[in-house]
Amino acid sequence: MRLNGEDKNNLLRSIYFIILFLIYMLICFFMPTFINGDIRELFSKRENTIINEDNTYNHEKIKLLMTENNLVVEMNLNDYLKGVLIGEMPVSYEIEALKAQAVVARTYTLYKLKNAKSKHLQGADMCDDINCCQAYKTKEYAFASWDDEIENEKWAKFEKAVIETSGEVILYNGQLINAFFHAHSGGKTENVKYLWSNEEIPYLLSVDGNEPDMRNDSKTFSKEEFKTIINSKVPNYNNNSKILIENYTGSGRVDKVKIEDTTLNASELRSMLGIRSTNFRVEESGDTITFYTVGYGHGVGMSQEGANQMAKDGSTYIDIIKHYYTGVEILTQSWKLTPKLKIW
For 61-74, how does the pLDDT look when each residue is reduced to its tens digit (9 = 90+)?
Answer: 889 999 988 899 99
DSSP run (H or E) holding 263: strand 262-265
Sheet holding 62-66, edge to edge: 71-75, 62-66, 126-127
Q: Tell me if 181 sits within 8 A of 115, measured CB to CB.
A: no
Q: What's the pLDDT score for residue 116?
A: 65
Q: What's the pLDDT score for residue 7?
A: 61
SS3 75: strand
Q: What's the pLDDT score for residue 34?
A: 43
Ramachandran angles phi, psi of 329, nearest 5°:
-125, 150
Q: Tell me if 295 sits within 8 A of 184, measured CB to CB.
A: yes
Q: What's the pLDDT score for residue 271?
A: 94
How many CA atoms does the CB half-sphere of 154 hold within 13 Å?
21
Per-residue tens of pLDDT for the chain, all 344 residues: 554 556 656 666 667 667 776 776 666 555 444 444 444 444 444 444 433 444 344 456 889 999 988 899 999 999 999 999 999 999 999 999 999 999 999 999 999 888 765 566 678 889 999 888 999 999 999 999 887 778 889 999 999 999 999 989 999 998 999 999 999 999 999 999 998 877 889 999 999 999 999 899 999 999 999 999 999 999 999 989 999 999 999 999 999 999 999 999 999 999 999 999 999 999 999 999 999 999 999 999 999 999 999 999 999 999 999 999 999 999 875 433 233 344 44
**Rounded CA gap, 7 and 13, in Å?**
10
Cβ neighbours of residue 315 under 8 Å, at least 6 residues apart? 96, 323
Q: What residue type is 277 in one-letter code? A: S
Q: What residue type is 303 in one-letter code? A: S
Q: What's the pLDDT score for residue 10?
A: 66
Buried b (16+ CB within 10 A) or exposed e, 325-336: beebbbbebeee
Ramachandran angles phi, psi of 157, nearest 5°:
-70, -45
Calculated CA dihedral for residues 98, 82, 135, 61, nearest 10 degrees? -130
- Which residue ranges make up each domain of the chain? 49-210+304-343, 216-294
Across-strand partners of 280? 293
Instruction: Give residue-wise pLDDT tens across range 242-251.
Output: 999 999 999 9
**Rounded CA gap, 88 and 76, in Å?**
18
Q: DSSP class of residue 242? A: -
Q: What's the pLDDT score for residue 314?
A: 97
